[in-house]
Homo-oligomer: A and B are copies of this chain.
Amino acid sequence: MASQSTSLATNALIKKALDLRDDSLSRITPPLALNHLPEPLPQNVRGIPNEILEKEEIEITSLEANEILNAIRTKKYSCVTVCKAFLRRAALAQSLVNCITEVLPEFALERAAYLDSLDEPVGPLHGLPISIKEHHGMFGRMKTCGYVAYIDEDHSGVSAVNDVLWAAGAVFYARTTMPQTGMHLETSSNIYGVTLNPYNLSLTPGGSSGGEAALLALRGSVLGVGGDSGGSIRGPAANVGIYGFKPTTGRVSRRGARVAPGGDGIIGSHGPMTTSRSGLSLFMRTYCNSQPWNNDPALVPLPWREVKLPTKLKIAFLWNDGIVMPHPPVRRALDDVAKALRRHPDRFEVVDWVPLDHAKADDIAMGLYFEDGCRAIKEVLKKGGEQPRPLTQWIFDNERVKHKTIEEVWEFKARRNEYRQQYNDYWLATGDVDGHPVDAIISPAAPGAAYPHNKATYWLYTSQWNLLEYPGSSFPVTTVDPELDVKDESYVPKNSRDRENYDLYDPIIFKDATVGLQIITRKFEDEKNLAILEAVEIAMGRT
């Protein structure tokens, strides 16, 4: 999808990447009967795999990660059979929503056959197909971070997370799209074009881990790895009805991922995206218990710890961050979950979370994400002969994105540190009266369901927690229902961004879009976060 202004050299680079992708897809066997796809595709394509795939493939790809591992362990399915099913389903997903940069049929099947040949499992992920966001280094395979210029860079190096997954028995079979820069809540690049939301092709699956999200939503994967510096796991997970977890900074390695040069004011985290809640803890337990800090001095030496929740949980709801009012389906989702918790007064106390100056967090975050006013990013675009995508341009145009001196960066970091301290004190103070501070916040993952393409510009429901380095898990709650989620015509927006978001809402445009929420706990309370997610889902009537 190169623009008309790209040069021949740029077009040749893009062709190289697309040829690599298409060639890899062409080697999937048996070939998919793509001529059976409805034309045009319906807006919601989630039902299509069941019409195209074989019965056993559908059965296998309907299992959750733990079930797949169990089926392999009990020899119900071989690793090869499982791998083939996911390869085919991933390739089909690509035809529907454009979420794949490359499938790895020979590599994956050879690995699966090797695992099948062993008498004992190599580790807790023995035979599990795992999909990976494309900029995470994988044995020398092309990694671009959505930049044309990086197509021809040195691709050596392996993601440290991939190393752990590999040692635990994972099968890598699919690599997924991400946006130019990796800093969009959208997934579009000049290399691979636009990734679509399987629930509604007119909407984005979010970003930057939107390829993973779209693939998982179509069950072309049940466990994938993304990364999150401003919402890039939690946003897309919420946008497609799956689970996503951004761990505390320092628990999961970021080694071996390609990004444009930048500062360290807000450090992201890789993390799991899964079709099941249990998939999140499967990943985190396996990963953290491998003692990854031995190999990455940026990590803290915390194994995945047992956690004992209080008998009664104090859960705070963030209804509105004080800047942008969430759309009606998001407010309904919050309300539904709050009601579910209130039905168990012995187990939950529900309170409101009054946001502590989130506007300040937004100012600090936008200053620190782009210390250089995007000069380095612009250089990479220039080198690749490519134009900024719309949401890249949106960043460039943001008035808070300016080139800074080191003294200005010091000042931003001083404000950041002070704000982190204030927020910590503020959180602890919620226990002043009863000695029991809030256990978790339940927050929107965005001020709306999945947005129309190029419209997701409000990061703060997720980036707030990146700035604070708090862990956050997204979980699915509901889908947009035009009858229930009518527009509040009486609402008067409080500022220009609130108006922009308000004006975007039309229940017909967002039809079928999923709504997820986030559970936020304090820094390093990763284990507690997932334990509370389980408690909340049980209260919601899930198992």
Chain A residues with a Cβ under 8 A of chain B: 250, 255, 261-264, 293-298, 300-302, 371-372, 375-376, 403-407, 409-410, 413-414, 417, 420-421, 423-425, 428, 468-469, 523-524
Which one, B302, B376, B407, B469, contacts A297 given CB within 8 A? Answer: B469
Which one, B264, B414, B428, B468, contacts A294 given CB within 8 A? Answer: B428
Q: How far is the CB of A6 from chain B (nearest CB, A)?
A: 27
Q: Name, among A296, A298, A376, the residue most crowded by chain B CB atoms within 10 Å (CB to CB).
A: A298
Contacts of A255 in B (CB 8 A): 421
Q: How far is the CB of A31 from chain B (nearest CB, A)?
A: 43
Contacts of A407 in B (CB 8 A): 261, 372, 375-376
Number of copies: 2
7 new A-B contacts at CB < 8 Å, known A262-B410, A297-B468, A371-B410: A261-B410, A264-B413, A293-B524, A297-B423, A298-B420, A372-B406, A372-B407
Give the CA-CA distance A421 to B296 in the complex, in Å: 7
Give the CA-CA distance A302 to B301 in the complex, in Å: 8
B420 and A297 within 8 A (CB): yes
Give the CA-CA distance A380 to B331 in the complex, in Å: 51
Contacts of A410 in B (CB 8 A): 261-263, 371
Q: How far is the CB of A407 from chain B (nearest CB, A)?
A: 6
Q: How far is the CB of A471 from chain B (nearest CB, A)?
A: 12
A300 and B469 within 8 A (CB): no
Give the CA-CA distance A106 to B145 in the complex, in Å: 63
Query: For residue A404, which residue of chain B has the nearest CB?
Result: B406
Q: How far is the CB of A191 from chain B (nearest CB, A)?
A: 25
Give the CA-CA distance A469 to B293 in the complex, in Å: 13
Q: How far is the CB of A248 from chain B (nearest CB, A)?
A: 10
Contacts of A428 in B (CB 8 A): 294-295
Q: How far is the CB of A147 from chain B (nearest CB, A)?
A: 17
Which one, B293, B297, B371, B469, contacts A406 given CB within 8 A? Answer: B371
B297 and A300 within 8 A (CB): no
Give the CA-CA distance A405 to B405 in the complex, in Å: 6
Contacts of A424 in B (CB 8 A): 295-297
A300 and B524 within 8 A (CB): yes
Give the CA-CA distance A376 to B408 in the complex, in Å: 12
Given A404-B406, A406-B371, A410-B263, verify A300-B300 contact (CB < 8 Å).
yes
Q: How far is the CB of A281 from chain B (nearest CB, A)?
A: 19
Give the CA-CA distance A423 to B372 in the complex, in Å: 30
Contacts of A296 in B (CB 8 A): 421, 424
Contacts of A405 in B (CB 8 A): 405-406
Q: How far is the CB of A300 from chain B (nearest CB, A)?
A: 5
B297 and A250 within 8 A (CB): no
Q: How far is the CB of A306 from chain B (nearest CB, A)?
A: 14
Give the CA-CA distance A376 to B414 in the complex, in Å: 14
